[in-house]
Amino acid sequence: MHGIALITGASRGIGAAIARQAVQAGYDIALNYARDTAAAEALAAELRGLGRRVLCVQADVADEGQVLRMFERIDAELGRLTALVNNAGIVVPGARLQDMGVERWQRVFGVNVIGSLLCAREAARRMSTRQGGAGGAIVNLSSRAAQLGSPGLYVDYAATKGAIDSLTVGLARELIEEGIRVNGVRPGIIETEIHADSGIAGPELAAAAAQLPIRRLGRADEVAAAVLWLLSEAASYTVGATLDVSGGR
Ligand code: NAP
């Protein structure tokens, strides 16, 4: 019995791979997405075929009201949450600092940082053994950008992931005595549609891959495998860790 997992930003990319592996591992899941209802519903239908309950729930994680309503639906339709994957995240177009505006900062911090805080808060309220919960696990998606800084590309995005690394350490130490394990994963360059949003085209990705020690891009399922391990009982003594899944980058 694995319990009930919320995966944010699961209509495509890494989140969809996490959703698929979570269902295969025996979780019932809430599959969150922001805009692409058709993609989310198609994935949900496929995963229901594996015999688990899959609740498809639209919510912008940066919006507190939408997050609160999403958790209320999960309570009512699935039951008490035992796992959260804070995966929803956005990048921003490549730019230098001097050319950036405050609107993009508010949006990228809103989704990547406030969104993770909001979902972690609502999950902790339900999982905490001090509040009648059964404990649980949270995994936050960071990025190697947190440590590399992404100069000339998106230092703001990198800074949101630096914040996620701090959040993982702090929450892990705050919540472990309430039965909640918090960890993170730092992907390198993974082949998903996210790069198009920052204006990075296929040939540039291939060139970047050639520079990596492993000489190839990562796959979403390779990140998902690390997330599922961190959620699992096999990681029962792993607390506040952030695992690099980056091909040696
Ligand atoms: P992706 O392919 O762009 O997918 C993003 C997902 O998040 C989509 O399902 C999208 O749903 C959802 N989403 C976007 N904004 C949202 C919001 N405000 N509220 C709820 N859901 C939202 O991204 P990815 O490459 O799989 O990345 C997943 C995570 O890994 C992100 O946190 C990213 O920063 C991190 N990461 C990725 C890489 C990489 O190379 N790909 C590297 C390091 C870290 P809709 O399509 O419905 O809007």
**Is 224 exposed, middle or buried, given 0-12, 13-18 or 19+ CB atoms closer than 10 A?**
buried
Active-site positions?
157
31, 53 contact by CB (below 8 A): no
- Taking 90 as the threshold, does the pLDDT of residue 2 lie above it? no
Q: Relative to the CA of 144, which ligand 1 atom is closest?
A: 43
155 lines ligand 1 (CB under 6 A): no
What residue ranges define each of the domains in the chain, with the CATH number in brackets? 3-245 (3.40.50.720)
218 lines ligand 1 (CB under 6 A): no
The span from the CA of 195 to the CA of 204, in Å, is: 10
Q: Mean pLDDT throughout 131-152?
A: 98
Task: List, for residues 17-73, the tens digit of each pLDDT value.
Answer: 999 999 999 999 999 999 999 999 999 999 999 999 999 999 999 999 999 999 999
Q: Mean pLDDT throughout 180-186?
A: 99
15 lines ligand 1 (CB under 6 A): yes
- Please state, for a pLDDT cut of 90, what percent of the chain lies above it: 97
Q: Mean pLDDT throughout 93-115?
A: 98
pLDDT band at 1 (very low <50, low <70, confident <90, very high): low
- Under 8 Å CB-to-CB from 207, ≥6 apart: which residues? none
pLDDT band at 161 (very low <50, low <70, confident <90, very high): very high
Model confidence, pTM: 0.98
Taking the CA of residue 154 as centre, how many other CA atoms within 13 Å lie in the half-sphere pointing to its CB? 23
